[in-house]
Chain A
Amino acid sequence: MAAPIVEFHRVSKVYRVGLLRRRSICALRGVTFSVPRGSVFGLIGPNRAGKTTLVKALLSICRPTTGTIVRLGRPAHDRSTLAQVGYLHESLAFPQYLTAATLLRYYGALSLVPRAELAERIPRLLAQVGLADRAAEPISAFSKGMVQRLALAQALVNDPELLVLDEPTEGMDLVARKILHDLIGRRRALGKTAILVSHSLADVERLCDQVAVIREGQVAFAGTLAELVRDDAAAVTTATLQETLETIYAGAAT
């Protein structure tokens, strides 16, 4: 079996807040799980559970207080592996003065994609997300859904091994959702990995092979969806995903 593409080992994160940074907020508590290579992995949980903090720690946007994270076989503090990672942030603020094409060139260059490759890839990506005819328009003229589609193209600009999508369907219309689902499906067929943070159970059920349920900064469950909804005692599936998650979110033992 191939080595996991991502491994979290006893990861904790404490934020110091307040004017004197005396108050502390524990966002993650000893999180341990791994993401298999080539899978679509769902990260689910109630609001403020720590999902986004976990993603930020994975992408070196914040440092874990304790524990280790391995990304593409290297420790997460080694930024070179980020060249093989694409990230779609939950609430983006792209520079409004850029056009769709210049934005992709800018972020592509920062992802160390050669210029010639970018010139070939950008029109194709814009066509994939349905923005081919808006390449020269400034982002300030885009609707929220169009910005989300552009953000998806941005996350794919370096043809990443690992795609991290934080609430990607937020603000997307049905067409854009279908584009996203198709893209993830095609990437899975190519053996590429995606981590999907989502509140949309429909997306999770449709796309994910495995999930981790995060609650109060801890892993409440990690495994396949079938394992999640199965009643171990009776060895049968007794509940829907929604019912199971409601139980977990409410804090009952699983």
Chain B
Amino acid sequence: MVRDTFRQSWASGIGWLLLGLSTLSIAVCLSVSVSGPRTLERPGENPDFLPRFDADAHDLQKLKQSGVAVADGALRLAFGAVRVPLARDTRSAVHFLELILAAGVADTLGLLLALVWTAGFLPGFLEPRAVAVLLAKPVSRWALLGGKYLGVLAFVLAQATYFVVGTWLALALRTGIWDASYLMSVPLLLLHFAIFFSFSLLLATCTRSTVACVFGSIAFWGICWGINYGRHAVVAAAQVAPQAGFSWLLVQLVNLGYWLFPKPIDIGRLVFDALGAGANFRPGVEGLASVSLGLSVLTSLLFTGYVLFAAGRQWSQTDY
């Protein structure tokens, strides 16, 4: 079943599309080079800043001679065709690039592409004319559905691994900065996809409609994102401005939704934290609200497990 799903992925074009995007990203990474200090902080030193309007702060040579570490490096793209001055050391510049690749390219564009494209796999698989012969085999319906789900996950895992390991190797070879924390994004990407694809699976068993699966799973992703963000906004607002006075009922409802549904923002934060995104981005409300990321992942997985069970039960009771 897993091998068949791989064949289907290549035949449908999604395999080649994701492979092409990954290869393009790796090629871009191979064209990257950085120059400048590797790190601006010495061990045990707290980062400090010069006053913005200090005249001396504009004379870089004078500053360097006085022993101040100056961020005068540059990031070069397309083999030097594009030069971006660095306001940070090379290590955090590479982290910044990895963050764009993991959160922007893979976790948003890649995830949506994979979700939309693979949404058609299950309704086609469950269509009566296609599934009748499979149902007459000595394999349980749970095993057939589980095999298809795992097949799609295995395909996404292979694609995510190629993308992340490929871009990591390319960046490391070009910059000499080997930081394995970026590799953490492979299981997190898979987890993110597994959660939302399980909902697509449930829709497929209930409706056998590709349109319902595509729009339903994207809408569900948006709703979960909104609930996750809304909860953190309410908690952060209560911390920052206690006088705002949200009603007790609203807070309980927001919390209930938050704990019931998957938490894409929290899962994304795991990648952000692993890559030290705090050095590059100011945290949003999700950074202000206190969050137990372990509990977030656990409850998201519980939801996924329940949805998978519901999908399996629905299909096991479907008559053809």
Contacts and interface: CB of A to CB of B under 8 A. Distances in A.
Given A94-B130, A110-B138, 5 more contacts: A15-B319, A56-B132, A97-B10, A107-B133, A110-B134
Contacts of B241: none
A106 B4 contact: yes
Interface stretch (A3-11, A77-85, A169-177): A77-85
Given A106-B4, A110-B139, A89 B320 contact: no
Interface string A100-119: 00100011001110000000
Given A95-B130, A97-B8, A60 B136 contact: yes
Given A61-B132, A97-B8, A98-B7, A111 B137 contact: yes
Interface in B120-178: 127, 129-130, 132-140
B137 A110 contact: yes
Nearest to A106: B4
B138 A111 contact: yes
Interface size range on B against A:
20 to 34
Contacts of A59: 135-136
B136 A102 contact: no
A62 B132 CA distance: 10
Contacts of B139: 79, 110
Interface in A43-74: 56, 59-63
Contacts of A106: 4
Contact of A80 (B11, B135, B138): B138
Contacts of B137: 82, 107, 110-111
20 contacts: A56-B132, A56-B320, A60-B136, A61-B132, A61-B320, A62-B320, A63-B319, A81-B138, A82-B136, A83-B138, A89-B129, A92-B132, A95-B130, A97-B10, A98-B4, A107-B133, A110-B137, A111-B137, A112-B138, A164-B136
Interface of A: 15, 56, 59-63, 79-83, 85, 87, 89, 91-98, 102, 106-107, 110-112, 154, 164
Nearest to A166: B132
A94 to B, nearest CB: 8
A209 B150 CA distance: 46
A102 B129 contact: no
B110 to A, nearest CB: 22
B138 A97 contact: no
A79 B130 contact: no
Contact of B8 (A56, A63, A82, A95): A95
A85 B7 contact: no
- Secondary structure at the B interface, as helix, strand, loop or mixed, is helix
A60 B135 contact: yes
Contacts of A110: 134, 137-139
Contacts of B11: 96-97
A66 to B, nearest CB: 14
A95 B4 contact: yes
A75 to B, nearest CB: 14
B133 A154 contact: yes
A210 to B, nearest CB: 22
Nearest to A85: B136
B167 to A, nearest CB: 29
Contacts of A15: 319
Contacts of B8: 95, 97
B138 A79 contact: yes
B4 A93 contact: no
Contacts of B138: 79-83, 110-112
Contacts of A63: 319
Nearest to A56: B320
A83 B320 CA distance: 20
Given A56-B320, A95-B8, A79 B140 contact: yes
Contacts of A91: 129
Contacts of B129: 89, 91-93
Contacts of B10: 97
Contact of B130 (A80, A93, A164): A93
A81 B138 CA distance: 7
Given A79-B139, A83-B138, A97 B132 contact: no
A61 B7 contact: no
A169 B99 CA distance: 60
Contacts of B135: 59-61
